[in-house]
Chain A
Amino acid sequence: MYGKGILKGLGVTLKRFADTYLDDISWWLQGRKRYYTQEGIAHRSSKNTRGIFTVQYPEEQLIQPEEFRYVPFLVYNEGAEGKKEVRCTSCGICAKVCPPQCIWIVRTNDPNTGKPVPEPKNFYIDMDICMNCGFCAEYCPFDAIKMDHDFAIASYGRNVYNLEKLLKPASYYAEIRPLNYVKEEDARKAKEAAKAAKAEAAA
């Protein structure tokens, strides 16, 4: 018989439609909220979901996986009295590896000697050119530049970010990428311990 497939397809749609309401009722009976909650979106993103699976974006967001990457940002350590210890040394490796060449670094020179100081005077990234490849974060030897999870950055003009706008604390980085953060901190501590041991052996 012709048209069997169409009927089957319509049946699937109808089942989805009914499932939405059945799921709504079962969640309501359990006293859980199916919409606009972390729990709800986690369930609707899982493979066990039935019925509606629309992400009601501004009210709720998909839970981003840790390795999700959008545009880059610069990490700073929170020093004493809220001092921003910028990790970046303005070495320029990120600007060199950037495929679309959207990073521009202004280096600092010592006012007395004129020699370069390992700290950026300013740091520009044209977010409208950035292609979210993550090479800068991959190549940075100081773990200073990382990829952000924040994607709602649309604006009415060109998005050229300066140092002030790029800086975000290390605690924020730990929050969005907990596993990577722990790994990097452990590696850094191990390196420091090895250096100390070597210095002791030499002495």
Chain B
Amino acid sequence: MEENKYEGLNLPNYNIPEDIQNVVSVTTIDRLYNWGRRWSVWPLMFGLACCAIEMIAAQASRYDMARFGMEVMRPTPRQADMMLVSGTVTKKMLPSIIRLYNQMPEPKYVVAMGACASSGGPFKEGYNVVAGIDKFLPVDVYIPGCPPTPQALIAGMIKLQEKIDKQSIKKVRWYEKGKVDSNYVPMPILGPDLIDVRRSAEFEAAAVKKEGVA
């Protein structure tokens, strides 16, 4: 159990002799880097639906997300670390969300809060709703609930912090060579069937095949 808890946490794995244990402490750059990041995850200030109300409640003094260093809701994506997709993502709103995501600097995280953002929820087959933001953005944490209570939201935030803890500076995508903006998501085309530009080649091939058969 104890070993499981610390697995993948970038520990130095260096045994300090017993007689100097209270004088010397050894850590890794990863631990230091992640410690700084995990306690200053600044969310982007935007809400989409009723989940936003719970998000506001979690930010207020009753639950106080400032205890996790997440109190600074940035009104600009340039200063935000985390995108909390809190509510129903309509097809009309999606291009704006993608644009905001692309404007966020790395490291950036996406949290799908509630049923609508995770999967479309009760509107999953609606004509105007995207069935889950994960169809377009890489989601890091899914928080079920309709809406998740402030405590459930904070539980999700703790999950995100645990994820940050396990990342290593050597492997993270934003320091990879030759990949300046590896996580850029092309803007979807707004229309009756919202098109994910990344998959347009696939759609074109399917269309050609269909025509060929007919």
Contacts and interface: CB of A to CB of B under 8 A. Distances in A.
A56 B115 contact: no
A55 B122 contact: no
Given A131-B146, A151-B145, A154-B152, A57 B119 contact: no
Contact of B141 (A53, A131, A132, A156): A156
The listed residue with most A CB atoms (<10 A of its CB), out of B143, B144, B150, B158, is B144
Interface string B145-178: 1101111101110110001000000000000000
Nearest to B113: A154
B140 A154 contact: no
Contact of A57 (B63, B118, B121): B63
Contacts of A116: none
B142 interface: yes
Pick the most buried of A61, A128, A152, A156: most chain B CB atoms within 10 A of its CB: A128
Contacts of B179: none
Given A53-B62, A129-B124, A156-B159, A151 B115 contact: no
A131 B50 CA distance: 12
Contacts of B121: 100, 128-129, 131
Interface residues of B, number: 33
Nearest to B65: A57
Contact of B122 (A57, A62, A100, A158): A100
A158 B124 contact: no
Interface in B110-153: 112, 115, 118-122, 124, 132, 134, 140-146, 148-152
A100 B115 contact: yes
Chain A binding surface SS class: loop
A55 to B, nearest CB: 6
A54 interface: yes
Contact of A154 (B62, B63, B132, B143): B143
Interface in A34-62: 53-58, 61-62
Interface of B: 61-64, 67, 112, 115, 118-122, 124, 132, 134, 140-146, 148-152, 154-156, 158-159, 163
